[in-house]
Structure 1
């Protein structure tokens, strides 16, 4: 780790003393403190290089400290000269005259008049503002009867030139210790403020809302990327200019409450935007404003998706264990393990690639369990924004937030009371909600958002993920304690590649279920079945189902042929899944086709991930993951 504090000593003895203090009192942070010797101009090059290397605070003394402070734009801590330092300098002189000059910058001579009274001598203060005036002032003092000059390194050198004795005021360990302590405090505060600033910038820049901040004079101070997209204006053009000048169509006129109650909908250019306004206050003094902009269609789509996903699931598990098709060893082990686990009340974690049928297995487990007559509630943790997911899981009290339903609302934990709650894509759950979920698992009780009372719940949790939770834990994106709470019983869903012998059975079952597509299809040719077993299925059962649906539409006769499967399988983009299996050139080329298709649809939807994902028939997070994994591979 690079040094964060640079100690610049004007003379060698001070450098040596500083090194001793660091070793004696700052053992744990010694590698963050660098001591160098350098006086005045000779140290500037060292200091500037250190600043480039990441030094955050500089410590020095006297004129050297003042020069450094004026040369670089980071905090400089002055080593304060104490009365003890002055006494040590006098003692080193042995006999000293009655009239003594004490020369140096303000931090050297400040308070010396009290010491003069105690010792019964006369101190002549020679205050220096810069090195250029030192010789003139010291010469004048000597001409007025000063016989001894004590002070900093500059002053003592010049004393010898004008023919009088000079005594260097050397800082003691206590002064050095105080200076380093102060520097560490400053460095820590600067680092904390920098982290807060970076966090704030990241939140603002990655927000799906347009964010504009203004000062008290309505001049723009923040203009995030989404605001650039909404208003087609670069932040370089916007920042520093009046909000009204940058967005002439935007107006606060006609709504007296808007400036205080943050609610408005406006038509700006060709977009209808919801606008939220908040005042920025410091100790009740208004210093500016923040405006949040969101496209109305985004809110409408979000609400529509939320309602659709919640009501489509219902509270009933439709799949039974006998509905899981397969006679392979992997499938048999899976069903046997699931049946035994279902008879317990323990939490189950189901892992496996996307498209392997995790939700079917969860519903089957519920229907085998003692909770089969209770509700089955499923929620996709990746389908909701954090604030909405929290209210859906735990419910909310009346008045918990603007727009909250009168009387409040039950959460999914309460709806699942006496039954099973299925948390799909648990790896996408925000960290803040992971903490609340862990508490529910421990306490078996929930509290409404904005509520004050604890509500007991009897719910069996089954979670599923297609992600590597251990890796998410290492990346600090998943709580380790929650992982161990969920991973009491574990079932891994095999891929189609691990249960190849089940593929013909699955294909036959799919033909039955999709009979409405082409009622003339009665079966599948043996060559077609063998061809299905030879292909890679990175999209697993979901990909196989898509292929069979197309094959049924393409088939001319009552039996699906190998050629029908070839044509259905080779349709562009179909053979691409979320698995990393398969190393053929065909797969690589199809991966490129898929990536290009995703980008094209995203562009057509004006980079609205929700609308693009809806068109593609995948989750918004899946779309994001596919695009980013492709970029990472490049």
Structure 2
């Protein structure tokens, strides 16, 4: 009989490492999950009822489970190998570091580091509630990088610090399973009976609801709640109107028309879902409406609106501590204070969205009020949708807009008044300098004058070669934690290639390259065997951002504009080269874009 074992990994890398070793534990029936302290404790009663024999976890999470569970718990230790690898990585850091943790970990690391003549500033804590004060003291001392356990690292990131997790390697995981095996045989008589869980219906993908004329919901399915992120069924009506503030006006107008068949169509605030409302015929002479919510198809919309949080989570906090980033941040904050609008420009991947996310945190803007708007094609529909978003936005929100130059010049002339009357803060993002866009006929002169009051230029990596090494270390430590690796640096050949590489995708390309290399690495260093990874990342970057399909379901004039826009992007917005490729003279090309 196999040992039914639950592994609770406090961080993703430990989950990945344990899963990769699962085949070596053929006498175990494994369930591997990722969970922090609160998640683990909330779920522990459920797992006890499912008949597990033993739990394997790490650090404080393991200690808390021991105190709150009837099941035996085996702890994954931090081995000497783990400590050596950690010190090898930390000794190369130029940024000020502080290590925070419990005595048994800190004392072991300090003992080994002193043998290696490496000094690591540290703070010993004895209780979890001491972490916050230790982090504040570390910040006062100038530390930007915090080394510690899962809880310490998570709290460090919440305070805007870079966190490096003290990870457990393969040797520690293997030792824990051997201890679990021995413990199981010693207590093999104790098991819990299995309890069957009720199966939950996945429901339909389309959200459905019935809504009364007074705005109250009479019925809704689970997909409806999921799409609108409504957590409480009792609060469903109120939550719906908070997300669709114009809904009541639409319903009242439909009632006044007294038509037997009324059809309304609108979009949710993210423009990811299309909402169709149909009047319902019933015998009780009530005004009821059927509401259907489904994802928007790619061909239905020329503008994308999404929350930015998911993108921001892919970048470590320490990137925001760079000198040029801080200078740009100060300029942006002052510009937003004066006129509620700033314009950022720079190549793709230079950190414009990261800067916008930092502004959101400094201003305490809620995550759902930071909108990432991309104008894919400057159609009339896209302009109407942007106008609607600006009109319904609230004062304590931020709207980050890309692709503004894709609108027709006559539509751009209307934007200045729309921006001035919008209560939200507005961040405009373009890749080319606004002056160049104006000279190329892609930006209206009056709008250019308004957008140019606060200009922020974010340099590409190749203009900041001195920061490349630090960025590499930042991304290595982030992915060590993510994939359960213990990479300590890069080989000279790889460093040489990195410094000569163009990095056209800048931070995004560097982030993705390091992630793929760390994921594929077999040793403690990124070596030349991993260099082919750069070619695949470059290809994916080019295919993802350099190609856009032409929508043929439009007028010939609009198709011409789309083709010209694509060629202009491929020619770095140089009109002479684009006109030459298309067999046009420059004045004809400019006239087509202007009309």
- The structure whose Rg is larger is 1
| TM-score scaled by length of structure 1 | 0.37
Normalising by the residue count of structure 2, what TM-score does the alignment of the two structures yield?
Answer: 0.39
Higher relative contact order (CA 8 A, sep 6+): 2
